[in-house]
Amino acid sequence: MKNQLTILFLFISVVSFGKTITVGKGKQFATVKQAISHASAGDTVLIDAGVYQEGQLVLEKRLVLKGVNSPVLDGEKKYEILTIKANGAVVEGMVFRNSGRSSYLDIAAVRIADSRYVTVKNNRFETTFFGIYSQHATACIILGNKLSSDAKDEINSANGIHCWKSDSMRIEGNEITGHRDGIYFEFVTNSFIKNNYSYENVRYGIHFMFSNNDSYVNNTFKNNGAGVAVMYSNHIHMQQNVFADNWGSAAYGILLKDISDGSITGNTFQNNSVAVMMEGSSRLQIEKNKFTGNGWAMKIQANCMDNIITQNNFISNSFDVATNGELVLSHFEKNYWDKYEGYDLNRNGIGDVPYRPVSLYAMITERNPASMMLYRSFMATLIDKIEKVVPVLTPVDLKDETPLMKPVKL
Amino acid sequence: MKTIIKYVMLDLLRNRIVLGYTFVLLIISFGVFNMDANTTKGVLSLMNIALIFVPLVSIIFSTIYVYNSSEFIELLVAQPLKRKTLWMSIYTGLAFSLSLAFLAGVGLPVLLYSFSVTGLMLIISGLFQTVIFAGIALLAAVKTRDKSKGIGVAVLLWFLFTLIYDAIVMLVLFQFSDYPMEKPMIALTMFNPVDLSRILMLLKLDISALMGYTGAVFLDFFGSTNGILFSIAALLLWTIAPVWASLKYFQKKDL
Amino acid sequence: MMIIASNVTKTFGKLKALDDVSVTCNKGHAIALIGPNGSGKTTLIKTILGMVVPDSGFITFDKHNILHDWKYRERIGYMPQIGRYPESMSIAQVLEMMRDIRNSPSPLDEELIEQFQLHEIENKKMRTLSGGTRQKVSASLAFLFNPDVLILDEPTAGLDPLAAEILKQKIIAEKEKGKLILITSHILSELDDLVSEIIYMQDGKLQFHKSLEQLQEDTGKVKIAQAIAQVMKKK
């Protein structure tokens, strides 16, 4: 469905020829506004280098707005710079700078409203409030944009790419930093997020709310408040992403809250305080991921169930798994745990005794965070060793019956 | 002083225990690194060696050595020598040869297999434990006339620093779990050289987890350059203080 | 050159090893330090050497307080009652080490080493030596650096008669050179031709310090052994 729409859209843009209008010093028009009002659907508006301060532009025709040598549209910190209300419009090669800000209005640099097949590609966004905002949009492409802002806290900042009640969106190859959430999805379905680099955003790299049937692949999330938060959503597929250096007391690689039926496959989690935090999550397939150097590879709250965690590599994490209850209804099998100390007498590559990934000391620090300072002391090691031999306090059912002796090749 | 150090070192070199100790450390280190391709895990295992085994060997061997040198000491105090020179030479000889053993047994393999900031931190930690516990041993030996009693005291001290102290801190933590304990914890850490070294290692190995939890206060302190310098200063104090106290005592001791 | 002890007191636990001892030892004298077992002779020697620190009182060596001083020991040769040496070292190594530590500029006096024929057994380890041979090593070391003061604690104990005679002759020779010699001994008869003064101690107290002539006069006995017996009887 999604791919068919894309092809259809490409077909339309190729067959519809129009005339070309130029904007700039000594060109046909001095302002973009004039050019747009004189153009008719299907035309291409070429905007020459320069700084254009024209308040709010509204695009209601199917035009191609194309920047030549990065012209700047300046919102003077007052205006929403460009509002697109036309199916099939294209905005390309522009610099959007200094959009307006507001604590009660969602002011964006570029807004796609109630439109289909809009393309926003290869633009730069500098110190904008919302970067690209789509509402009731369908099958739009947001490609290769660079968005950077100066967000300091969650209250006075907005999201880089914000999609609301949209469908079949394709968000690819963007670089987003300095916003509240890098990418924000609310009531967005059937969308695809790929090859983006989201870093140093105040809150999340990507944030899903009430969005279903989306996937994100091959993105990198570094140093955000948390890498990705998926909340109240289902059928979200997360593949081949890199989550790194998300450090802090509420910092996660992925935060899952009340979600179901998704998958987390082939991702790399490196040096996060908590790589995967699961709350009220069910029926997730967590497979072939690499967890290295994290504080906690997984925190699974007791309200999670029927998740399958298999073929993952857990290497050099401070703690592999932590949980807050005694009952764990998720299933672990065939993972590689570098802390496993069992043996493999029949040489089939699978350890002969089960591995219990929850250490007692993980539970102790869960109850009393300051005791982290005694971690790796002789006493802490003794406590853990004794508990491993005779489990008393750690959940009895939480174990990998078939731990691998060697890491999974990924 | 050089002359005396020379004779102490000669004596220690002739002593097969130091050589044996070096050899055991070497076997453990190479074993740890060869068993697993994951060098971080190797460093972790060696951290236990550096923070538990090394202090034990250092304190017990040094205590016994001081008792066994009583003839040497008696012979030399009647000679034109400062007692300070004699005592400091014995300490230097001990600390130096044990450090050499640690460098050869653990330092070398770490440099070969896992040359990193964490590896260097491990080596520094082990060296500090070696010289600190040799100093504590001198204090224990000079204060206790009876040899078997002195060795008992040394073992107890080792237990205190590696296990009992932490257990008490843990109890305190849970007793006062309703209060913010980060700052008192930092203070408590300063009173145990093993904990100090361990936390410096923790900052390298478990930074992700530390960032997640006790966070602010703790990391602000140990994570900053000042905090590291302060910790190193505390370790230096731990190196000097017991030796200094033992020297004061030795200078007045009747032989 | 003289050693003066002033009101020296030292207690070990409940035992008063030295009780207000004041004594002056002058150059050119060989002084016998006599007294029953546990009378404080060895403790007095050790306080002079700085091995034991007095509880009160002080000791001067050539008018310098020996507390916090160590240089004066260059001028003392000490032969302990029981010589204790690093067990794993050989005789040659011990001698070499002492030479190394003393680093004395004056010529060495190896007469005793020669006469005791220590060179022939110099590669033997200290732990294998008999008590007598150890004493020979101790004696050799005491005289080796040609010191002004010799402190000899039971020098002949354990020595065979031949060796004892060699040592005795050596002591006499050194006395002739005008050195100060302090000797404790149980065998009072061997002191007769050696000493010029007698210090008698009992229960940590100094009983008397007299010249040999004075003692002979006071008691009417020629031999020291008899004179001391006379003194003890009187008490």
ipTM of the complex: 0.86
Nearest residue on chain A to B42, judged by CA atoms? A316
Q: Tell me: pLDDT of C163 over 60.
A: yes
Going by beta carbons, is chain B in contact with chain C, meaning 3 or more pairs sit under 8 Å apart?
yes
Q: Which residues of B103-131 are buried (b: 16+ CB within 10 A; e: fewer)?
A: bbbbbbbbeebbeeebbebbbbbbbbbbb
What residues of chain C lie within 8 A of the CB of B70, using their CB?
84
Residues C96-129 pLDDT 10s: 888 888 887 778 888 899 999 999 998 999 889 9
Q: Supply the pLDDT for residue A18.
A: 80
Nearest-neighbour CA in chain C from B69: distance (Å): 7
* Residues ≥6 apart with Cβ < 8 Å to C156: C164, C167, C168, C185, C187, C190
Q: How far is CA C84 from the centre of its chain?
A: 16
Q: Supply the pLDDT for residue A2.
A: 57
Strand-strand pairing, C15-26 and C2-12: antiparallel
Q: Tell me: pLDDT of A313 over 70.
A: yes
Give yes or no for B206 touching A (CB within 8 A).
yes
Within a domain: A199 = yes
Using beta carbons and an 8 Å cutoff, which residues of A are at the interface with B? 247-249, 251, 271-274, 293-296, 315-319, 338, 365, 367-382
Confidence of residue A8 (pLDDT cuts 50, 70, 90): low
Residues A334-372 pLDDT 10s: 999 998 988 999 999 999 999 989 888 888 888 888 888
Q: Supply the pLDDT for residue A333.
A: 94
Q: Supply the pLDDT for residue C81.
A: 86
Confidence of residue A1 (pLDDT cuts 50, 70, 90): low
The verdict on a CB contact (< 8 Å) between B199 and A319 is no
Within a domain: A74 = no
Q: What integer is the mean pLDDT of B222-228?
A: 80
Give yes or no for B70 touching C (CB within 8 A).
yes
Residues A143-166 pLDDT 10s: 999 999 988 888 888 999 999 999
What residues of chain C lie within 8 A of the CB of B254, using their CB?
12, 46, 51-53
Please tell me the least confidently modeled range out of A15-24, B86-95, B146-155, C205-214.
A15-24
Of B36, B166, B181, the CB nearest to A377: B166
By C-alpha distance, which of B39, B217, B37, B58 is closest to B126? B58
Q: How far is CA A89 from the centre of its chain?
A: 26
What integer best gives the mean pLDDT of chain C? 88
**A273 within 8 A of A295, measured Cβ to Cβ:** yes
The verdict on a CB contact (< 8 Å) between B254 and C97 is no
Q: Tell me: pLDDT of B229 over 80.
A: yes
B–C CB contacts, 8 A cutoff, strictly below = 60
Q: What integer is the mean pLDDT of A201-225?
A: 94
Residues C74-100 pLDDT 10s: 889 999 888 888 888 889 999 988 888
Q: Supply the pLDDT for residue B186.
A: 84
What residues of chain C lie within 8 A of the CB of B255, using their CB?
46, 51-52
Within a domain: A168 = yes
Strand-strand pairing, A263-265 and A285-287: parallel
Range of the domain at A313: 99-389
**A296 within 8 A of A273, measured Cβ to Cβ:** yes
Q: What are phi and psi of A296, to 5 degrees?
A: -125, 125
Please tell me the least confidently modeled range out of A41-50, B37-46, B215-224, C178-187.
B215-224
Q: Tell me: pLDDT of B228 over 60.
A: yes
Of A315, A316, A370, the CB nearest to B214: A370
Give yes or no for B54 touching A (CB within 8 A).
no
Number of structural domains (chain A) is 1
When scoring A299, A337, A378, A386 by the number of chain B Cβ atoms within 10 A, the one with the most, hence best to mutate, is A378
Domain with residue A328: its CATH number is: 2.160.20
Q: Tell me: pLDDT of C202 over 90.
A: no
Within a domain: A60 = no
Q: Supply the pLDDT for residue A275.
A: 94
- The CA dihedral of C91, C92, C95, C100, to the nearest 10 degrees, is -140
Chains that touch C (3 or more CB pairs under 8 A): B
The verdict on a CB contact (< 8 Å) between C51 and B252 is no
Nearest residue on chain C to B67, judged by CA atoms? C86
How far, in Å, CA of A110 to CA of A336, rounded? 46
Q: What integer is the mean pLDDT of A122-138?
A: 94
Please tell me the least confidently modeled range out of A14-28, A138-152, C178-192.
A14-28
Chains that touch A (3 or more CB pairs under 8 A): B
Q: Supply the pLDDT for residue C235.
A: 62
How far, in Å, CA of B62 to CA of B60, rounded? 5
CB atoms within 10 A of CB C117: 11
Chains that touch B (3 or more CB pairs under 8 A): A, C
Q: Tell me: pLDDT of A10 over 60.
A: no
The verdict on a CB contact (< 8 Å) between C88 and B14 is yes
How far, in Å, CA of A132 to CA of A162, rounded? 6
What residues of chain C lie within 8 A of the CB of B252, using their CB?
53
Range of the domain at B241: 2-252
Q: Tell me: pLDDT of A14 over 60.
A: no
Q: What integer is the mean pLDDT of B120-128?
A: 94
A–B CB contacts, 8 A cutoff, strictly below = 109
Confidence of residue A56 (pLDDT cuts 50, 70, 90): very high
Residues A380-396 pLDDT 10s: 988 888 888 888 788 88
Residues A249-289 pLDDT 10s: 778 999 999 999 999 999 999 999 899 999 999 999 999 99
By C-alpha distance, which of A339, A296, A303 is closest to A324? A303
C76: enclosing H helix or E strand = strand C76-79
Q: Where in chain C are the domains?
A: 2-234
CB atoms within 10 A of CB A396: 12
Q: Supply the pLDDT for residue B216.
A: 60
Give yes or no for B171 touching A (CB within 8 A).
no
Q: Supply the pLDDT for residue A12.
A: 55
Q: Tell me: pLDDT of A201 over 70.
A: yes
CATH number, span C2-234: 3.40.50.300
Q: What are phi and psi of A18, to 5 degrees?
A: -150, -175
What integer best gives the mean pLDDT of chain A? 90
Of B36, B162, B202, the CB nearest to A376: B202
The verdict on a CB contact (< 8 Å) between B81 and C70 is yes
The verdict on a CB contact (< 8 Å) between B205 and A371 is no
The verdict on a CB contact (< 8 Å) between B77 and C50 is yes
